[in-house]
Structures are given as structure tokens and as C-alpha cells.
Amino acid sequence: MQFEVVDVPIPEGTNVIIGQAHFIKTVEDLYEALVNSVPGIKFGLAFNEASGKRLVRHEGNDEELRKLAIDVAKRIGAGHVFVIYIRNAYPINVLHAIGRVPEVVRLFAATANPLKVIVAEVEPERRGVVGVVDGHSPLGVEGEADREERKAFLRKIGYKL
């Protein structure tokens, strides 16, 4: 078994969501989940069909994001994995809708940080995601002033009252 680390580019203004599902209908259902969630969302998504024709299936309403999703899905190369890039929306707007898609098994990451996906290859063409590296390790522990700043920030941008 070998491990490979796949880099996931995050263009300015985008977020990426990576997960695992289990049926070719996933592509169409994820498309619907995304357009149902946020008016004006832009996105591209790709899904690794794991049997039959074994194609990277894809949908979206933004060609740049669709190409990115296809490229990342292909480089991960693990069956039944999907990759979604979104713009004009954030993961908190769409994660629950994605979770309600009946084919979705689990999520690996939702982030705008530098992301790496750790993939295990157990034999040629047999790969699985084993983890993600989402951003960087912490440098220290929040103190009282940091906490006040955190709370004030969330209130300033309107997420909390």
C-alpha cells in the first residue's frame, strides 16, 4: 500500500467540499441540492464513477469551477469520491443540503484553506481517501483578549447578535 498526497487548489473566492457517495445519480442530486440552497450560487462538481464506464461524471453552472472539480477528482482517483467547488456561497449555506442527498455517505472537507487529500493506493486503480490536511496546525491557545476579538468579529459580520 502506498500513500499519495493530492494538492487541492483553492482559487480566491471559492470554497471546496469533498465527500463520498455511491450511485451515478449523485451528480444530478448534488446539482439540485446546490441550486436549491443559494440564489446565484456558482459551482462545478465531479464524481468518480467506480464501476461500469468508470468516468469522472460532472455538472455545474460555472465552467472554471467544473474543470477544477474534474481535475481534483481525477487526481484523487478514488471510487465514489465527489469534489464540489462553490463561489458566491459558503459551505455553511450548503452542507446540510448536501447531507440530505440520499446517496451521500460522508464528507471529508469543506474549506477555503490550503487543502491536501491523503490517498491510499492498495493496488493499481484501487484507491481510497484516508484523510485531509485542512490548513495549518495551531500556533497557540486562545487567550481572553483573543476570545473577545473572536466574539466581536462574529457580531461585526452579522452572524451572531
Q: Which residue is associated with the grid cell 465527500?
A: 19
CB 30 within 8 A of CB 59: yes
Output 64 or 88, the one with its CB closest to its own copies: 88
Joined grid coordinates for residue 86: 462553490
Provide, rounded to whole angstroms, the least separation between the CB of residue 10 and its own copies. Answer: 11
Q: Which residues contact 87 (CB under 8 A, 6 or more apart)?
A: 13, 14, 41, 42, 43, 62, 65
Min dist. Cβ of residue 4 to its own copies (A) = 9
Calpha distance 135→148 (Å, rounded): 23
Least gap, CB of 129 to its own copies (angstroms): 6
Backbone angles phi and psi of 122, in degrees to 5: -90, -25
CB of 12 to its own copies, least distance (A): 14
- 42 with 88: CB under 8 angstroms? yes
